Structure 1
Amino acid sequence: MNKYNVSRLAVKNAIARLGLTNAQAPNALIKYAQGSSFVWSLGSTSGSQAVYDNYNERVRLVIAENGTVLDVFPIDYALQSPHNLSEEVRQSLKESTKETLIARRDKTHRKWCETELAFHENSYEIAKVRLQLIDASVEEAATLNRRLADLCADNKRLHEDRSALRKERTELERALVPYI
């Protein structure tokens, strides 16, 4: 888990924008940062700062490369006040965010499907090797056991990959809900 620091400005903005107290803000911001997902790098800062979203807490954070939380907003901050943006800009922002989230969700779903297929192909190979082990001689059994161990290690890795992709897809689907 990454170690995060909190800037004074982030604490001040958390108090104003999120309604936290001065005592609550630093710990809450660290908690939000730990549960956040990368969204994009801020191009104007040569990649030294990036935007992260914590979908569960519905906050957007700006975090420096060194792990300092620089700013915090409610996730739909720009869309909350009619004084912040014109209706046309708000709708455009909503649509582009929705399209970006859908594209990321679809890309993650495709990766998950490919990993799921590889997992089941590998499981099929494991079953074939186990079937061969039934009638194998001692020399063949040693070779088959080594192959089985390699296949099982691959299967474990594939299972972890598909679980991570399923979790990422679920997070993206949750993030998409406010825009549908």
Structure 2
Amino acid sequence: MNKYSVSRLAVKNAVARLGLTNVQAPNALIKYAQGSSFVWSLESTSGNQAVYDNYNERVRLVIAENGTVLDVFPIDFALQTPSNLSEDVRQSLKESTKETLIAKRDETHRKWCEAELAFHETSYEIAKLRLELIDASTGEAAALNSRLADLCADNKRLHEDRSALRKERTELERALVPYI
């Protein structure tokens, strides 16, 4: 688990934007950072920073490369504050965000389906080889075992790929919930 620290500005903003107390804010921000997912990178003159979302707590964090939480917002801060944006801009932003998330989710789902299909094809090949091993002679068994070892390694990699894609798809679906 990454070690995080919290800036004074982040504490001040957490008090103002999230309703936390000065005592609660540092620990809460560290907890939020530990449960957050990377969203995008920010180029900054003071070093690399990135935006992270914690979907469970519904907060967006700006975290520096060194692990310092620099700022915190409610996840849909710009959409909540009427003085920040006009209604047309808010609706446009909401729609474009929704469309982008749906497109990313669909692309990830397609990749997951392809990985799932490849995994099951490899599993089928493994089952066929194991069936052939039952009646194989000693010489044939060595070749079949070698092929079986290769297929099992491929299957493990495919399983890890499909699990990662399923996790990514789930995170995108969670991010999409506020826009539906």
Superposition TM-score, scaled by structure 1 size: 0.91
- 1:45–1:143: structure 2 CA closer, same or farther, 3 Å change rule? farther
Matched, 1:87 2:87: yes
CA-CA distance at 1:160 after TM superposition: 2.2
SS at match of 2:53: strand
Which residue is 1:167 aligned to?
167
Q: What displacement does 1:147 show?
A: 2.2
> Structure 1's 48 and 25: CA in aligned 2 closer, same or farther, altered over 3 A?
same
Q: Any gaps of 5 or more consecutive residues in structure 1?
A: none
Alignment correspondent of 1:19 = 19
Query: How many residues matched?
Result: 180
Q: Quote how far apart the aligned CAs of 1:143 are.
A: 2.4
Per-residue CA shift, 1:39-73, capped at 9, x if unaligned? 12224559811111111111111111222111110
Q: CA deviation at 1:150?
A: 2.5
C-alpha RMSD of the superposition: 1.8
Asked whether the equivalents of residues 102 and 176 of structure 1 are also in contact (C-alpha less than 8 Å), the reply is yes
Q: Which residue pairs with 2:144 in the alignment?
A: 144
CA distance in 2, matches of 1:14, 1:130: 59
Identity of aligned residues (%): 89
Question: Within 1, Cα distance between the matches of 2:148 and 2:100?
Answer: 42
User: Given the superposition, is the C-alpha separation of residues 154 and 135 from structure 1 closer, same or farther in structure 2, using an over 3 Å criterion?
Assistant: same
**Matching residue of 1:49:** 49
1:123 is aligned to 123
1:58 aligns to what? Answer: 58
Match runs of 1:69-84 below 5 Å: 69-84=69-84
Matching residue's letter, 1:67: G
Matches within 5 A, 1:25-36: 25-36=25-36
CA contact under 8 A between 1:41 and 1:47: conserved in structure 2? no
Q: Structure 2 counterpart of 1:121, which letter?
A: E
Residue aligned with 1:61, SS:
strand
Question: Which moved further from structure 2: 46-55 or 116-125?
Answer: 46-55
Structure 2 unaligned spans of 5+: none
**1:154 deviation in Å?**
2.1
Alpha-carbon separation, structure 2, partners of 1:158 and 1:68: 36
Moved more, 108-117 or 33-42: 33-42
The Cα shift of 1:135 comes to 1.4
Given residue 140 of structure 2, which amino acid in structure 1 is its aligned partner? E
